[in-house]
């Protein structure tokens, strides 16, 4: 059984084109140390994608939240646990 290729939405196409433009024009985002992308779903959920470099290897993580409030609560907890901050890779 052959799987049907999913049609890419206009939003995804625009996101990919924008990221490509940043990559091709380093004056916009010179040599990023890490990148975070937040994806909001139609039902109000949020997916947070982190891609970064820890000095030795590339790390990719993602978290899912049911709402913006849940995301903010997680940020408060993280700030309390690590007040110095740092990159947000989980």
* Of 64 and 85, more confident: 64
Residue that is written with structure tokens 């890490």 in the block: 34
- pLDDT tens per residue across span 41-70: 889 999 999 999 888 899 999 999 999 999
Q: How far apart are CA 30 and CA 17, in angstroms?
A: 17
Q: What's the confidence (pLDDT) of residue 61?
A: 93
Q: Domain extents for the chain?
A: 33-83
Environment class of residue 17 by beta-carbon count within 10 Å: exposed (0-12), middle (13-18) or buried (19+)?
A: exposed
């Amino acid at each position: 059984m052959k799987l049907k290729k999913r049609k890419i939405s206009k939003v995804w196409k625009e996101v990919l084109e924008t990221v490509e433009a940043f990559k091709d024009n380093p004056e916009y985002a010179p040599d990023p140390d890490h990148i975070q992308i937040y994806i909001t779903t139609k039902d109000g959920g949020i997916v947070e994608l982190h891609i970064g470099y820890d000095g030795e290897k590339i790390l990719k993580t993602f978290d899912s939240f049911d709402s913006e409030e849940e995301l903010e609560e997680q940020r408060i907890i993280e700030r309390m646990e690590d007040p110095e901050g740092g990159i947000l890779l989980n």
